[in-house]
Amino acid sequence: MIRVKKVSRPKEIPLTEKLYLVEIAKGLAVTMNHFLKNLTNPRSIPTIDYPEVKRPVPPRFRGRHRLTKRPDGTPKCVACYCCATACPAVCITIEAGEHPDPQIEKYPVRFDIDMLRCIYCGMCVDACPEDAIRMDTGWYTVPERNREDLVYTIDMLLSD
């Protein structure tokens, strides 16, 4: 036996709903309510005046990288390639040079990070045996106008 399923007809929409006037008035009331609340108590506004005001970041937030320095201002990095090897995004390029100090074997002649590829995983920081690279700048405003500016050079990474 074939069963016929009964389908109920949609109820007729009243004219007031068809005109959306009541719904528009309700929407405007919600907007006005928020507008007046924010006008009388601006501190309750959940937004900030970015970019003039920036949100504080948690202590463990991974921001833009920096290279740490020795007391004489030279990079702590010994160009061991551990960070570049650990980087899953292959975005670190290092060229090693002979350090003038015989106590230090090498130093980075070139140290670039391609921020277009970086995924902010922090593995480069974890892999470094010299504490020479950190992501503690709290800097999250990385957009630039062209792609070339997003390859951070050693000078940028060493700058304060």
For ligand SF4, the binding residues (CB under 6 A) are 77-83, 86-87, 89, 91-92, 94, 113, 118-124, 127-128, 130, 132-133
Judged by beta carbon, residue 36 or residue 116, the one nearer ligand SF4 is: 116
- How far is Cα 137 from Cα 123, in angstroms, rounded to an integer? 16
Task: Please report how close the Cβ of residue 155 comes to ligand SF4 at its closest, in angstroms.
Answer: 15
Q: Which residues are paired to 75 by β-bridges?
A: 69
Judged by beta carbon, residue 38 or residue 104, the one nearer ligand SF4 is: 104
Task: Please report how close the Cβ of residue 67 comes to ligand SF4 at its closest, in angstroms.
Answer: 7
Candidates 124, 134, 125, 72; CA nearest to 99 is: 72
Judged by beta carbon, residue 28 or residue 109, the one nearer ligand SF4 is: 109
Task: Please report how close the Cβ of residue 59 comes to ligand SF4 at its closest, in angstroms.
Answer: 17
- How far is Cα 125 from Cα 86, in angstroms, rounded to an integer? 9
Q: Which residues are paired to 97 by β-bridges?
A: 107
Judged by beta carbon, residue 14 or residue 71, the one nearer ligand SF4 is: 71
DSSP state letters, 11-69: PPPPHHHHTTHHHHHHHHHHHHHHHHHHHH-GGG-S---TTTS-----TT---S-EE-B
Task: Please report how close the Cβ of residue 116 comes to ligand SF4 at its closest, in angstroms.
Answer: 11
